[in-house]
Structure 1
Amino acid sequence: MSEAPKYYPTFISLTGRDCLVIGGGTVAQRKIETLLECQARVRVISPQVVSRVAELAAAGSIELVDRGYAEGDLDGAFLVVSATNDAAVNQQVSLEAARRGQLINMVDDPDHSNFIVPATLNRGDITIAVSTAGTSPALARRIKHDIEESIGAEYADVAKLVGGVRRNLLDRGISISPEKWQAALDLEELTGLVRNGRGQQAAEILLTKLVED
């Protein structure tokens, strides 16, 4: 058995980027909605679409091309997702994207993709991604589920709080070492205070820890 490819973990800004989805079924719908959440400009090519995709097109949220894929459809796309149930079409899309050097994800086919989509947990500005290099999506989802139980909704507020403290220090020209940040970030204390509606006190405690000698 060949070794799974080594992926370079990264987060890519898709804001205002042209992204193309080939296919209009339920799997394509999930991909489309995720791209829209990332503020991408989404174009969908498919002769048939599920009702939610049709609604997005009617609302002007996406551009819908009512036909099958054709050579040249990848023109201008920063990122491509192929989510059809036609293996021949998927292969054609993969080959065209490879020739063009584009980012391409073939749903459930990591061998013909140059990027894969991890299982993600979102808490406001916090995103935790779990990947098994495409070998076991079910395991990635299970690990994400286990993490989800320990990273509650209050972490979104903690992220805003810590970001606010950081901006305060930067505005005052105060530089804090990474080591001191790590020592000051008592997450159990911060999340407990935030959970009990004492976010301002949490910010003051964190700030004091960071600036004390």
Structure 2
Amino acid sequence: MKPQGSRWSFFCQNCFRATGRLDMIPIMIDVKGKPVLIVGYGAVGRRKAELFLTEGAQVYLYDLQASLETSGIPTVEDVFSDDTAYFMVVVCTDDRDFNHRIVDHFKNKALVNVADSPEDSCFHNMASVRRGELTVAVSTNGGYPGVGKRIKNELENFFEEDYGCYLAYLAGERKKYLSLEEAEKKRQLDRLLAIDYKTYKKMKESQCLEN
């Protein structure tokens, strides 16, 4: 039988603290223009590089295979003598001893993530779904990334592609009421918020909204 009340909560919290997985908070970080080092350019490293390039980061690569084709992304010859002040370092090799050396070298200089070692990471990339300005992210704190991926797939089915347009419509309408007197502003914003996604779709289909 499951322990009741606060005793069960206490057990869960201490269980997770023992794994070090309650010490992180979900945040969104602007990496535009910031130097990010990807260590290892296999399948995982490529995905990470594409992610950061898409967000406007200055991506650099280091790989043990010096002759590797890097699609024009600048490379670092000796990661341990490089004096670039990296904002983030993302480690994607399967050489655990080498990964530990990277972590030890950068842990007091940059935010470090080791793709398959949450205990060596000070941040994790969350699985996310984006629909315009809407971002919904999920993380298992490195406990079981496959579960996070499954939940992401479920969220992709729930939040249709047009959800971004729905949010853009609400955001545009909201701006019209921000300068109103407080009581009237609240009334209008409550009315606006009552327009859920299904209602928005019906309004759009009946051409009540501009495309």
Distance in 2, matches of 1:79 and 1:199, equals 46
Partner of residue 102, structure 2: 93
Q: Quick check: 88-97 or 180-189, which moved more?
A: 180-189
Matched, 1:63 2:79: no
Closer, same or farther: CA 73–199 of 1 in aligned 2, 3 Å: farther
**Which whole-Å CA distance do the structure 1 matches of 2:100 and 2:85 have between them?**
19
Counterpart-to-counterpart distance in 1, 2:30 and 2:196: 30
**How big is each residue's C-alpha offset from its partner over 1:81-103, in whole Å with a ceiling of 9 and x where there is no partner?**
01112212211111122222x21
User: How much is the aligned-residue C-alpha RMSD, in angstroms?
Assistant: 2.7
- The alignment of Structure 1 onto Structure 2 pairs a total of residues equal to 190
Which residue in 2 is equivalent to 1:208? Answer: none
**Counterpart residue number, 2:163:** 155
Separation (CA, whole Å) in 1 of partners of 2:74 and 2:144: 33
Deviation, 1:148, is: 1.4
1:25 aligns with 2:42: yes
Q: Which residue of 1 aligns with 2:190?
A: 180
Q: Which runs of 5+ in 1 are unaligned?
A: 203-213
Aligned-residue identity in percent: 26
Amino acid paired to 2:40? G
Q: Which amino acid aligns with 1:40?
A: A
Deviation at 1:184, TM superposition (A): 2.7
Change (3 A) 1:49 1:181: farther
The counterpart of 2:70, out of the listed 54, 64, 86, is 54
Query: Which residue is equivalent to 2:124?
Result: 116
Which contiguous aligned blocks of 4+ residues in structure 1 show a shift greater than 4 angstroms? none
Counterpart residue type for residue 104 of structure 1: V
2:143 paired residue among 111, 121, 135: 135
TM-score (normalizing by structure 2): 0.78
Q: CA deviation at 1:147?
A: 1.6
Query: What is the SS of the residue equivalent to 1:63?
Result: coil
Q: Secondary structure at the match of 1:54?
A: coil
1:189 aligns with 2:196: no
**Change in 2 beyond 3 A, CA 1:187/1:122:** same
SS in 2 for 1:48: coil
- Which whole-Å CA distance do the structure 2 matches of 1:134 and 1:50 have between them? 32
| CA distances 1:122-148 after superposition (whole Å, capped 9, x unpaired) | 112111101111101011111111121
CA displacement, residues 52-88 of structure 1 (integer Å, 9 cap, x when unaligned): x622x1xxxx3223x4x53243631111101112212
Quote the residue 1:80 is aligned against: 89
Residues 39 and 90 in structure 2, CA contact (< 8 A), matched pair in contact too: yes
1:14: which partner in 2?
31
TM-score by length of structure 1 reads 0.78
> What one-letter code is carried by the residue in structure 2 that aligns with 1:80?
V
Q: Which moved more, 1:26-35 or 1:85-94?
A: 85-94
Higher relative contact order (CA 8 A, sep 6+): 1
Distance 1:32 1:10 in 2: 20
